[in-house]
Structure 1
Amino acid sequence: MKPNPELEKLLMIDIAASAMKELIELLTIDQPFWIKSPTEGQYVLDHDSYYKMVARSKGFRNPNPRIESSKDSAVVAMDARLLVDLYLDPVSLNYPFSLIVKLNFWLVGMCFNHFHILQDKWVDVFPTFFSKAETISVLKGGLLENRDDSLQLFHEQVHMLSPAMQQRDFYLLRYCRQIETGVWVIADVSYNYFRGASHVSQTFYWKHPSGCMIEEMPNGLSRVTCIERVEVVDDVPVHTMYDDLVNSTLAFGAKRWISTLQRTFERYAFLKEAGIFNDELGIGNESMIILASKLIKSYCSIFSLFGTSDLHQLSELTKNGVHVTSRKNTSPDLPVGIVIIAASSFWVPASPERVFSYLNDHLMRSQWDILCNGSRVCKISQTPTGQHSSNAISVLQPQNLREEFMIFQESVFEQTGSLIVYAPVEMTRMLELATGVDPARVPILASGFAITPDGPDGKDAPSTSTSKPLPAGSLITAAFQILACTALSVDDKDVSTYVFPFADALVNRVVRVIKNVFD
């Protein structure tokens, strides 16, 4: 039977209203719903109390569901109304100019000359968390002055920066209510919608009423309280390395999302306060910051390539556990030709702080970076991007090399996941950037490392033998992009025969070096 659009719209409005009612109760009533887990340190839902409010069978997809529930709260350096707008406008080809001005373009690493690039703003702002975000349909526009009663059908893909982790795909109803002056609640709830979708996943995740409360605070700050509740519909396999991270909700839960919000807006606020955006500092600073945002997004986009069904893509998992894939690139953002992407995730018995400190130390870089060819590396410049001393945009230069290039890098340290992302850039291009050249004209291949804890703080990693348990450690993903050749007509067989083994050996060498440092 052909669906009735009006009846379906009424159904979606009813589902969204019910989700909003439930979420407000979960947000405003701590006891008895939320308890602090003694082993994981996270606030989790007490299901016995919850089932007294909501019938156990309501909304569950499986008779014995596994629910990941989490709650977290923090102050973020962003105006509450702008944050609400950001939630409700994830994609816009013609994004309102007034709001772009209020965001100063820097929030998404863009400037006035680049506003036409804002095609996927949600991913532009939060690339470490989202690989895709789009509004399918605006069901209710809401009030213009405060976005109250806005309802939309929304599609998002959430990822971890590892080829070993499956993306989480959601079709959501996103509903916004202003429950009092200066306080908004945004509710997300899964909805069965597959018309027009390019695929229907056989194993997917179902989001029960989740979302956030955004409270206006003085001085342009906001308090954000986030709740995430996801049911694993099928028993989706998780790599054993990531079991504890996923089960503790640190992989996809409220704490990671709040941490992402804090770090994103801290970067913006810190750069603004430090005067990086002042005209007297020169437009070259603007170009560097825009290029850094492009660098991070380029790196994060790597992980959406693994496991895709693109007919123009080769892919394999080597005996060393390295995921290798290829793509033929014609985009001006990347060098034209065949690009090889190779990545591997592994565990080391060292804290994320120690791993980050080692990989971010330019004096140690020659030990693992093939770009340096064993040469000493000098730090040419560093632009701080946060309170942590290592949060910075840097320009590095290997010494005693024939090739004239620099390494452009951004390092990001945060508790739930850190990044060290870099790309070689020709010296002439770097000099052009200093004069304010359009960063879109600088093709880059981002490589680097994503570093996460292996589970909750203080947790012992499981032992692999009968010996005493290993100390808590870090999960590292090393991912590299390599321009194999500048011709697009190379035979796929030649790529897999000659280039894939080189990429495998490159990643395997880097992994061995890092493991040897911490073993």
Structure 2
Amino acid sequence: MEGASSEDQEPSDQPPRKRRFHRHTLRQIQEMEMVFKECPHPDEKQRMQLSRELGLEPRQVKFWFQNRRTQMKVSIKVFEENQAHQERAENSMLRAENERLRSENIAMREALKNATCPHCGGPATLGEMSYDEQQLRIENAHLKDEVQLDRVSSLAAKYLSKPPSSSALAVTPGPSMLELATRPGGLSQVEKPLVAELAIIAMEELLALAQSREPLWILEENGAKESLNGEEYMQQFSRGLGPTPVGLKSEVTRDTGLVMMNGAALVDTIMDARWMDMFSCIISRALTSEVLSTGVGGNWNNALQLVMYAEFQVLSPLVPTREAYFLRYCKQHAEGVWAIVDVSVDGSGFLIQDMPNGYSKVSQVTILQHMEYDDRQVNNMYRGLVSSGLAFGAKRWLATLQRQCERLAVLLATNISPRDLGGVISNATGRRSMLKLAQRMTNNFCAGVSASTVHTWTTLSGSGEDDVRVMTRKSIDNPGEPPGIVLSAATSLWMPVSPQRVFEFLRDDRLRSEMNSQWDILSNGGSVQEMAHIAKGHDPGNVISLLRVNALNTSQSNMLILQESSTDESGSLIVYAPVDIPAMNLVMQGGDPAYVALLPSGFAILPEGPRSIGTTPETSSRASSGEPGCLLTVAFQILVSNVPTAKLNLESVTTVNSLISCTVQRIKTALSCET
């Protein structure tokens, strides 16, 4: 549309004159298009402002918006007519195919009635007609599928607007989520309504599992964990996929708790393409390949996303990641009640409910995690953690969600909390920039420490808990990292010390440089002083700190360290990186943190899990004492060359190996847990 607008009609007592048209410039059209996307019906004040900015008369602006709205209505009508025509054509083809199959079915039945034995010429018995009977059954199954497709095709026009009928249980699963993810062109027009039907069925199962109690769920003796009753599940959900395949284990976990975010905002976070940022310590990679429906009513109600891919991780190179392809379906069931289900071989999801009046910023969330997995590649040290469900289960998801929602509340706050210390961050904008920088630092650390399929770890030396694993990558044109060759080194070990004690030791700034510990090579014996302190939640362990290292030698310059510590019921993290002083000054004043180059190092601290499942030779000597232990992963990222095309030399690898081994030994010595 060129955006032509007409002048008012001349009075009726004068002869009509030829209308004059004004052709808008490209800039005028672009500016009005931008406004139209936000507000198709601008009021008089907005039209006046546009007319002044674009050099048009208010009447011309008014006519342009009228014409644009008319054009939009015509386009929508044409689109709906095309969609209806396409659906009618598909339904007509399906009906014709059904009639053909019915005719063939009748003909085969008549032929079977008059069948004779090929040996004696007498009437054939059932056993002698096995081939024909088999063909008939195949055709019948085909006919049944086509009838089902015809039924769900009519459902596609209303697209998830009504629940499936009981006959939906006969739907065959069709292609796997992996096949759909890798197929060129995605779903066909016939498969889309079928997938929508499967999503509705999965939603029903999620609601039943999330809201049921005994006998479907059995509370264990200590009352800390629920377990699914497998026999009861198979009776209630007979359309399930049957027993777990040989070699795989099934893990079904559920947990419920309060989250500091209202339901609508929480749904926005989970359904958004950046949802993995909320769970960066659990998800190493994620993507959405196709969106079938964006929802109705301006929100995520009835939104359908296919095929979502995610890789789930434990922060250690000793635990293989779990990959999943799934369909994500979101539905609002009542005012303030939402459910999100992930449809796959393993069904998982969220049930979100707003709290009553007075708690508008809090919602109750039930998380269900159902996975089938192979744990044969899991290191013995982590087998107890994985088998107990603490590594990938609902408890870890809920604890991470609760902690991250507290962090978001701090990020969005406009006032400076009394718990924020130091005085170097003068406003809320500077605090937000520092929070974003710390989040990027922690995400970078988590992405580089697991056994993700995109990583290739090489074992340098030792065996068991003495292993040091390394990998290299090139950093090119990444504004968040220095350019060159980056070497990542990591080791995981069991320690006969509680997770809380290790966490408190490592986050204590005074212990970095004391003679009896001195685990931090960055401080190099210099004193460490906290310059800024941002609390991320109620737990004092969830904090972002800016540390100044005062060099022992006056000829050396001081250094800044950005550090983030995080802890919840599922585990703890301490991540830190040296940062440039001028760049940090800009960040604290509210500048963009995306261009601050850093390479994080840090620690992941996890509970050891039940010893009866995961006891190893390293832990067996301590098991009888009853003292709780923890699983500690130490990881460094170091720039070994500032030239991306350079080759890694043996000296750099040896230095990093020595550095990480020395750090582990100092921590063991300081905590009196040398073995």
TM-score, normalised by the number of residues in structure 1? 0.83
In 1, the alpha carbon distance for the partners of 2:447 and 2:334 equals 38
1:291 is matched with 437
Given that 2:559 and 2:581 are in contact with CA atoms closer than 8 Å, whether structure 1 keeps it comes out as: yes
2:550 is matched with 399
Distance 1:484 1:189, change over 3 A: same
Q: CA deviation at 1:49?
A: 1.4
Q: CA deviation at 1:428?
A: 2.7
Q: CA deviation at 1:266?
A: 1.1
Of 610, 624, 628, the residue aligned with 1:468 is 624
Q: CA deviation at 1:20?
A: 1.3
Q: CA deviation at 1:315?
A: 4.0
Of 578, 582, 590, the residue aligned with 1:436 is 590
Larger RCO: Structure 1 or Structure 2 (Cα < 8 Å, ≥ 6 residues apart)? Answer: 1
Distance 1:461 1:308, change over 3 A: same
Distance 1:15 1:216, change over 3 A: same
In 1, the alpha carbon distance for the partners of 2:414 and 2:668 equals 38
Given that 1:350 and 1:518 are in contact with CA atoms closer than 8 Å, whether structure 2 keeps it comes out as: no
Residue segments in structure 2 that go unaligned for 5+ positions in a row: 1-174, 176-182, 419-424
Distance 1:387 1:282, change over 3 A: closer
Given that 1:306 and 1:315 are in contact with CA atoms closer than 8 Å, whether structure 2 keeps it comes out as: no
Given that 1:245 and 1:455 are in contact with CA atoms closer than 8 Å, whether structure 2 keeps it comes out as: yes
1:349 correspondence with 2:505: no
Of 500, 511, 517, the residue aligned with 2:664 is 511
Of 387, 395, 405, the residue aligned with 1:265 is 405
**Per the alignment, in what secondary structure is the counterpart of residue 413 of structure 1?**
strand
Q: Which amino acid aligns with 1:332?
A: P
- Deviation per residue, 1:174-218 (Å, 9 max, x gap): 11222222111111121xxxxxxxxxxxxxxx52x2211100123
Matched-pair identity in % = 37
In 1, the alpha carbon distance for the partners of 2:566 and 2:233 equals 37
Given that 1:156 and 1:170 are in contact with CA atoms closer than 8 Å, whether structure 2 keeps it comes out as: yes
- Deviation per residue, 1:121-148 (Å, 9 max, x gap): 1222321121122111112333134422
**Per the alignment, in what secondary structure is the counterpart of residue 551 of structure 2?**
coil
Q: Which amino acid aligns with 2:483?
A: V
2:473 is matched with 327
**Per the alignment, in what secondary structure is the counterpart of residue 411 of structure 1?**
strand
Is 477-486 or 467-476 further displaced after alignment? 467-476
Given that 2:549 and 2:560 are in contact with CA atoms closer than 8 Å, whether structure 1 keeps it comes out as: yes
1:80 correspondence with 2:220: no
Given that 2:321 and 2:453 are in contact with CA atoms closer than 8 Å, whether structure 1 keeps it comes out as: no
2:74 is matched with none
1:230 is matched with 371
Q: Which amino acid aligns with 1:358?
A: F
1:127 is matched with 280
Q: Which amino acid aligns with 2:255?
A: D
Give matches, 1:81-120, under 5 Å: 81-89=264-272, 91=273
Q: Which amino acid aligns with 1:5?
A: S
Q: What CA RMSD, in Å, does the superposition of the two structures yield over aligned residues? A: 2.8
**Per the alignment, in what secondary structure is the counterpart of residue 290 of structure 2?**
strand
Given that 1:152 and 1:173 are in contact with CA atoms closer than 8 Å, whether structure 2 keeps it comes out as: yes
- Deviation per residue, 1:45-86 (Å, 9 max, x gap): 111211211349725551575211111001101120111122
Give matches, 1:110-509, under 5 Å: 121-153=274-306, 154-190=308-344, 206-207=345-346, 209-217=347-355, 218-232=359-373, 234-270=374-410, 272=412, 275-276=415-416, 281=427, 283-303=429-449, 308=454, 315-319=458-462, 320-330=466-476, 331-366=478-513, 367-401=518-552, 402-455=556-609, 463-465=619-621, 468-469=624-625, 471-492=627-648, 494=649, 497-509=650-662
- Deviation per residue, 1:107-126 (Å, 9 max, x gap): xxxxxxxxxxxxxx122232
**Per the alignment, in what secondary structure is the counterpart of residue 509 of structure 2?**
coil
In 2, the alpha carbon distance for the partners of 1:168 and 1:505 equals 31
In 2, the alpha carbon distance for the partners of 1:341 and 1:223 equals 39
Which structure's CA Rg is the greater one? 2
Q: CA deviation at 1:456?
A: 5.7
In 2, the alpha carbon distance for the partners of 1:277 and 1:19 equals 44
Given that 1:316 and 1:325 are in contact with CA atoms closer than 8 Å, whether structure 2 keeps it comes out as: no
In 2, the alpha carbon distance for the partners of 1:78 and 1:10 equals 33
1:200 is matched with none
Q: CA deviation at 1:299?
A: 1.0
Distance 1:68 1:364, change over 3 A: same
Is 398-407 or 365-374 further displaced after alignment? 398-407
Given that 1:460 and 1:471 are in contact with CA atoms closer than 8 Å, whether structure 2 keeps it comes out as: no
TM-score, normalised by the number of residues in structure 2? 0.65
Q: Which runs of 4+ in 1 moved over 6 A?
A: 1-4, 277-280, 457-460
Q: Which amino acid aligns with 2:363?
A: S
**Per the alignment, in what secondary structure is the counterpart of residue 179 of structure 1?**
strand
Given that 1:277 and 1:286 are in contact with CA atoms closer than 8 Å, whether structure 2 keeps it comes out as: no
Distance 1:64 1:433, change over 3 A: closer
In 2, the alpha carbon distance for the partners of 1:79 and 1:10 equals 31
Given that 2:234 and 2:240 are in contact with CA atoms closer than 8 Å, whether structure 1 keeps it comes out as: no
Residue segments in structure 1 that go unaligned for 5+ positions in a row: 92-120, 191-205
- Deviation per residue, 1:9-33 (Å, 9 max, x gap): 2332232222112111111211211
**Per the alignment, in what secondary structure is the counterpart of residue 377 of structure 1?**
strand
In 2, the alpha carbon distance for the partners of 1:251 and 1:9 equals 34
- Point out the structure with the larger strand share: 1
1:13 correspondence with 2:196: yes
Given that 1:306 and 1:323 are in contact with CA atoms closer than 8 Å, whether structure 2 keeps it comes out as: no
The aligned length equals 466
**Per the alignment, in what secondary structure is the counterpart of residue 448 of structure 2?**
helix
In 2, the alpha carbon distance for the partners of 1:372 and 1:427 equals 16
In 2, the alpha carbon distance for the partners of 1:410 and 1:243 equals 28
